[in-house]
Chain A
Amino acid sequence: MITLGIDIGSTTSKCALLRDGSDILATSLRVGGLGTEGPDEAMQELRESSGIDLSAVDRTIITGYGRNKYEGGDGEVSELTCHALGGRLVFPELRTVIDIGGQDAKVICLSESGRMTNFVMNDKCAAGTGRFLDVMANILRMDVNDFDEVASGSVSPAAISSTCTVFAESEVISQLANGVDRADLVAGICGSVASRVSALARRAGVKPQVCMSGGVAKNGAVRRALEKSLDTEIAFDPRAQYFGAIGAALYAYRQLQQ
């Protein structure tokens, strides 16, 4: 049985194909989320990379902010539910998911059996989200994907406000004007995201095993800063950005099983 999950986020679209609710057959990602060609392009990429005829898919579930508007699915489900399912599929002992996406951050708590028991969302502020990192990368004229490597060279991370993206932007400009080392600035920026998100995580309750999902999970500097702030190891899987799509495909499989 093959199921498809499509996660249409604020900045990217992701797809995942699952066989029998356990084997991740293929994934795809395209920049461009809600209201763009991103979802269709991600589907095309999945078709090409997997070589699987998508007409053979038994059920498709859509998740993410674009889930309500996208036509072509058999149903839709909240991205929190999907990140929990996808994360648990990859990490069977998972108890806490920290999902930092393009425009928000969420923390999901799971019971020993994997049932969702609590969640919190930071949905009103760009601080502590991928958008915060994008804004800072723009000021520094850097690619956000280089943050991890640059931050690893930091000796003394700069203090950056975690309260507001706009104020933090001014702070970074001031720090640049004062000649603060770029590596220290990038490390400070990543630490700021971690500070904001760790507060959210503590509010939900953090139990190991903890993993990150969403696009920011790829940023090792943020992961390390979060580990330090939460005093716990954070599991990472290269497919972390696809957990929402994988979870949607798993949700589709479970619906078929019922």
Chain B
Amino acid sequence: MVKDILAKFHEVAASPRAQMDKYMAEGKKVVLTAPVYTPEELIHSMGFVPMGAWGADMELNRAKEYCPAFLCSIVQSILELGIKGAYKGASAIVIPSLCDTLKTLGENWKYAVDDIKFIPMTYPQNRKPDYGIAFTKAGYERVIRDLEELGGKYDAAALVESNSIYNKHNASMRKLDEVLAAHAEITASQRSDIFKSAFFMTKEEHTELVDQLIEELEKTEGTAAKLPVVVSGILTDAPQLNAVFEEFGMHIVADDVAAQSRQYRTDVPECDDPLDALAVKFANMDNCSVLYNVKKPRVQWIVDTAKARGAKGVVVVMTKFCDPEEFDYVMIKKACEAADLPLALVEVDRQMVQFEQIRTNLETFRDMLMM
């Protein structure tokens, strides 16, 4: 049964286009959601299927007409896929303003991909004060207006329902993260499939499948981890990267990955107005390189989580040219050193075809931890 559920996650994770076609064949409209955080609850409540657009591992060509070489390859690959028609049929793409490169993506998208509407989601830098929450809410209202132009309809009661569906999914994903920590037989690739598939399924469907997996896993005693590690970064879905984790017996007991657990840490709170609640949710989010916080609690979060989960080390998977992650890395490294927590740094890129250097790096890290 576990095997069947994992196969389903893999199928979805490996074939986002098939999922998109399926939803469109059902008469649903798909709205793409770019990294890192978009108001999916809002999109869902207005009758659209939100579908994650985090790019793909590929050679970049057409995107270079718009982007210099030193831009994050995740963002460039989203643009590349857009130009090449991989998202054809999507009604819109919502692109948040959470890093400089994402800002350029939105502006370039308008000219490069004219058949998929660009909807900006402009977030405030200071999201916690009342004026920040009001700014976020104004950004959501802009998204509502744009989605209404595409036939969507905003209804507060529907948003209450969507907020609840997303909170339930968040809870399931957090529970799953805890369960997976005790089941080393679930590989890094399978873990990646589970999290990645969440971007390509409705949350109702994904929650059901995740709950089934949790139920099945809890019936068995998990295999103990050979080498428990915490992984941090923006994206860790490259099959070759996960194969290296598996080759060296590294079991991910927790992650601080933007495309994985960071998505599910914060729920929409109870408020009189569901749109206010969604804005407060964004204000409450933290522990992420693209969410401004001068105190950088993320750094200690990584150390504390690693200790709590019994990790022997931390692996930082740095997306090349990701400024927010690079700024945080220095602090993470110092904090891990202070906590006597070994740390490895590997650099990834959507255009990578050779992972031998990463293999050497992580093999050495394994030796460092085991010898």
Contacts and interface: CB of A to CB of B under 8 A. Distances in A.
A81 B357 contact: no
B371 A121 contact: no
B212 interface: no
A200 to B, nearest CB: 13
A114 B360 CA distance: 20
A117 to B, nearest CB: 7
Contact of A123 (B357, B363, B367): B357
A236 interface: no
A124 B347 contact: yes
B364 interface: yes
Nearest to B362: A78
A70 interface: no
Given A65-B356, A123-B357, A117 B368 contact: yes
Contact of A79 (B347, B360, B368): B360
B361 interface: yes
B347 A78 contact: no
Contacts of B356: 65, 68
Contacts of B371: 81, 115-116
A81 B367 contact: yes
Interface residues of B, number: 11
Given A115-B371, A116-B368, A117-B368, A78 B357 contact: no
B153 to A, nearest CB: 50
B224 to A, nearest CB: 20
Interface in B312-371: 342, 347, 356-357, 360-361, 363-364, 367-368, 371
A124 B371 CA distance: 27
A81 B364 contact: yes
Interface string A110-139: 000001111101011000000000000000
Contact of A121 (B342, B360, B367, B368): B360
Contacts of B342: 117-118
Contacts of A123: 357, 360-361
Given A115-B371, A116-B367, A119-B368, A80 B360 contact: yes
Interface string A201-244: 00000000000000000000000000000000000000000000
A54 B342 CA distance: 39
Contacts of A117: 342, 368
A77 interface: yes
Contacts of A78: 360, 363-364, 367
A62 to B, nearest CB: 13
A249 to B, nearest CB: 16
A121 B363 contact: no
B367 A77 contact: yes
B352 to A, nearest CB: 11
Contacts of B363: 77-78, 81
Interface string B229-268: 0000000000000000000000000000000000000000
Nearest to A254: B371
A30 B279 CA distance: 66
Interface in A89-103: none
B347 A116 contact: no
B247 to A, nearest CB: 10
Interface in A56-98: 65, 68, 77-81
B332 to A, nearest CB: 14
Contacts of A77: 363, 367
B341 to A, nearest CB: 12
Nearest to B357: A123
A121 B357 CA distance: 9
Given A65-B356, A116-B371, A123-B357, A80 B364 contact: yes
A123 B356 CA distance: 10
Interface in B188-235: none
B364 A119 contact: yes
Contacts of A104: 357
B315 to A, nearest CB: 13
Contacts of A79: 360
Contacts of B347: 124
Nearest to A83: B364
A73 to B, nearest CB: 15
B192 to A, nearest CB: 23
Contacts of B361: 121, 123
User: Chain A CB within 10 Å — which of B347, B363, B368 has the most?
Assistant: B368
A185 to B, nearest CB: 31
Contacts of A124: 347, 357
User: Chain B CB within 10 Å — which of A65, A78, A124 has the most?
Assistant: A78
Interface in B281-329: none
Contacts of A116: 364, 367-368, 371
B318 to A, nearest CB: 12
Contacts of B357: 104, 121, 123-124
A77 B371 CA distance: 12
User: Chain B CB within 10 Å — which of A77, A80, A117 has the most?
Assistant: A80
Contacts of A68: 356
Nearest to A80: B364
Contacts of A118: 342, 368
Nearest to A81: B367
12 contacts: A77-B367, A78-B367, A80-B364, A81-B363, A81-B364, A81-B367, A115-B371, A116-B371, A117-B342, A118-B342, A121-B357, A123-B360
Across chains A and B, which 5 residue pairs bring their CB atoms closest together, nearest first? A78-B363, A80-B364, A123-B357, A81-B367, A78-B364
Given A78-B367, A118-B342, A119-B368, 11 more contacts: A65-B356, A104-B357, A115-B368, A115-B371, A116-B368, A117-B342, A118-B368, A121-B357, A123-B357, A123-B360, A124-B347
